[in-house]
Amino acid sequence: MLCLVLSELATIYLQFKIFNYVAICCVFVIGLLAWRLLKLRESYLIAVSSLLTGIAWLTSQHAVEWMIEGLSRSAYLASFILLIALLREGALTSRSVVNLGRYLTFQPPKRRFVAVFGGAHMLSAMINLGALSLFAPIIQRGVRADLPVDAPLNEVAQIRERRQLTATLRGFSWFLIWAPTAVTQAVMPTLMEGIQALRLMGIGLCIALIMMLLGWCEDWLRWRKTGHRIREQGLLGAIETPKFSLKSARNFALVCALLFALSVGFFSIFGVTIVSGVMLAAPIVVLIWVVVQQSSGSRLVGTAMRFDQITHSAMPGYVREMLFVACAGFIGTIGAKLVPIAEFAQVIGLATAPGWTVLWGISMIVWIFGQVGFSPITMAVFLSSVVAQIPVMPVDITHAALAIAAGTAICTTGAPFSAGALMLSRATGYSPMTLTWRWNGMFTFLSMIVLTLIYMWLEPGQ
């Protein structure tokens, strides 16, 4: 894994092709070494990848070229997920992160949704999927703090846990639309030329704020009568909110500022994408973060021991996620090559279609295919490749990228096979169907309506 990320960084920053081939080989070797750890999801994706490879080999003389492109994207995404995962390792041993998480999840009911949504959202922008595995145990420990071990949750505890986990998943899902640490933002600039990254981030952040307000309204309306009944019955106990730690907030803000500054600096100096800047900045930030966390008397020894733990225990724990995104990148790339994009676009009259319907259709495709097992990452790669091949695109390319990212967001709350739903399910014990269809179905539907209105404003059409 270390060889993979170092080779990929060398490919990006030194532009030597030999390192790209080394990274590709590393993906294969990791898959072979870890075959005993693979579950049904990874086996299924490897089988689909093999099937598409066979079809490409039999139907096109460009099969080898396509495979190299697909494997290069696999290595890039695999390296990205591993480097971003390093940030989670810094967060797991950070007292500041735990203090802030406890403060947010122990807020009174009226402020809790916004606090948890906002906290999960910003933490996701720092440590991606790690935010779900970090917030989930804090929430569940807080809810169960006053209950006997293994005791069933009473009605109040069930509602409190559900509302907080729902807010966490919603906060995570909408960071995907703007943050450069999201996998979707990592892949789109490599496939679609002309994306205005800062504009995409600005519009995406505004949409995320709108969705936070929408989620709060839906949560309040859903539980308003229930909360009133519980208060009348005197079932709602007092919640002791931890004292806000200004020091913890300052420390976390400094980490975020360092990551942002280094990413923008690499982006400006080397002329890479902002996401590639994040990839190089992440290990530097983690190194500094881990050093600062050690006691002053043994910083060197403590840092060495922590990085030994990260490389020998933590990083191998991400092998399934790494192979998952690697296969998703390969499937999306080869799948787009096999589809006759130009002919299909002409048949449906894409060039003359109202822009907002095109954006809406892009987002809905991600969500629909998410219901049958296609991950949002796979669809993001596929649709980005498709958009890049369309001769005449009736919408702004930045808006098309926004629609793809928004599709991954609604898929995360509305499809049980999304990475976010699977990660939260693994951390909490609730099924992905419960977390998405049952708990977030109405919010997902309302999000689609709001997105439609936003698309009509961005691309009013003819």
Q: At 148, is the pLDDT very low, low, confident or very high (cuts 50, 70, 90)?
A: low
pLDDT at 462 over 60: no
Average pLDDT on 323-347 reads 85
Token readout for 187 is 């892949």
Q: At 314, is the pLDDT very low, low, confident or very high (cuts 50, 70, 90)?
A: confident
Separation between Cα atoms, residue 355 and residue 357, nearest integer Å: 5
Which carries the bigger pLDDT value, residue 141 or residue 124? 124
Lowest mean pLDDT among 119-128, 134-143, 317-326: 134-143
pLDDT at 293 over 90: no
Q: At 461, is the pLDDT very low, low, confident or very high (cuts 50, 70, 90)?
A: low
Separation between Cα atoms, residue 404 and residue 137, nearest integer Å: 31
Q: Is 34 left (phi over 0), alpha (psi -120 to 50) or beta?
A: alpha
Token readout for 163 is 């509302």
Predicted local confidence at residue 317, as pLDDT: 84
Predicted local confidence at residue 239, as pLDDT: 64
Predicted local confidence at residue 262, as pLDDT: 92
Instruction: Report pLDDT digits (tens) over 42-81.
Output: 888 899 999 999 999 999 999 999 999 999 999 999 998 8
DSSP secondary structure string for all residues of 394-438: SS-HHHHHHHHHHHHHHHHHH-TTSHHHHHHHHHH---HHIIIII
Token readout for 357 is 């319907």
Predicted local confidence at residue 146, as pLDDT: 62
Q: CB neighbours (10 Å) of residue 53?
A: 18
The percent of the chain in helix, strand and coil, each rounded to the nearest 5, is 80, 0, 20
pLDDT at 26 over 90: yes
pLDDT at 305 over 80: yes
Separation between Cα atoms, residue 94 and residue 245, nearest integer Å: 13
pLDDT at 243 over 60: yes
Amino acid letter for position 158: Q
Token readout for 403 is 């629609």
Predicted local confidence at residue 132, as pLDDT: 85
pLDDT at 155 over 70: yes
Separation between Cα atoms, residue 38 and residue 324, nearest integer Å: 10
Predicted local confidence at residue 173, as pLDDT: 96
Separation between Cα atoms, residue 112 and residue 369, nearest integer Å: 33
pTM (2 d.p.): 0.83
Instruction: Report pLDDT digits (tens) over 359-403.
Output: 999 999 999 998 877 888 889 989 998 888 888 888 999 999 999
Predicted local confidence at residue 145, as pLDDT: 63
Q: At 186, is the pLDDT very low, low, confident or very high (cuts 50, 70, 90)?
A: confident
Q: In 174-273, which ranges are continuous DSSP H helix?
A: 183-191, 197-232, 246-270
Predicted local confidence at residue 227, as pLDDT: 81
- The rounded Cα 52 to chain-centroid distance in angstroms is 25
Single out the residue of 203, 182, 193 nearest to residue 275, CA to CA.
182
Q: At 238, is the pLDDT very low, low, confident or very high (cuts 50, 70, 90)?
A: low
Average pLDDT on 302-326 reads 87
Separation between Cα atoms, residue 322 and residue 183, nearest integer Å: 12
Predicted local confidence at residue 231, as pLDDT: 77
Angle, helices 63-92/2-14, rounded to nearest 10 degrees: 110
Predicted local confidence at residue 147, as pLDDT: 66
Separation between Cα atoms, residue 126 and residue 67, nearest integer Å: 32
Separation between Cα atoms, residue 418 and residue 430, nearest integer Å: 14
Average pLDDT on 300-322 reads 87
